[in-house]
Amino acid sequence: NAGVMQNPRHLVRRRGQEARLRCSPMKGHSHVYWYRQLPEEGLKFMVYLQKENIIDESGMPKERFSAEFPKEGPSILRIQQVVRGDSAAYFCASSEGGLTNEKLFFGSGTQLSVL
């Protein structure tokens, strides 16, 4: 499967723990986007990364959330000290060059549940 791969599919954490969500973009894609979908809400942009660079993190909460896309390996969305309000579906998407008319390919998402 050469699509966008996210893991884990489901992640359960207790309040105060850390959550790490992984995203491997499609082969040949160097642009990664993270979106969050809260229950009964639309997807909200969080962050846009290229290899080793954060291009736009305007949608990231100011605290506890961070993202990276290292030269080697998947993109990681990290949530420290999770709270119940972090429970959501987190979707990653990738594109080849970040151009206006490029199609984004979405992964299957990680469903985070905070107990």
Partner 1 sequence: RKEVEQDPGPFNVPEGATVAFNCTYSNSASQSFFWYRQDCRKEPKLLMSVYSSGNEDGRFTAQLNRASQYISLLIRDSKLSDSATYLCVVREGGGSNYKLTFGKGTLLTVNP
- Judged by beta carbon, residue 13 or residue 31, the one nearer partner 1 is 31
Write down the least CB distance from residue 12 to partner 1, Å: 16
Write down the least CB distance from residue 41 to partner 1, Å: 6
* CA separation for the pair 17, 3 (Å, rounded): 30
Please report, as ranges, the residues that interact with partner 1 according to CB under 8 A.
Answer: 31, 33, 35, 37, 40-45, 48, 55-56, 89, 91, 95, 98, 100-101, 103-104, 106-109, 111
Q: Which residues contact 86 (CB under 8 A, 6 or more apart)?
A: 19, 79, 112, 114
| Residue 64, beta-bridge partner list | none
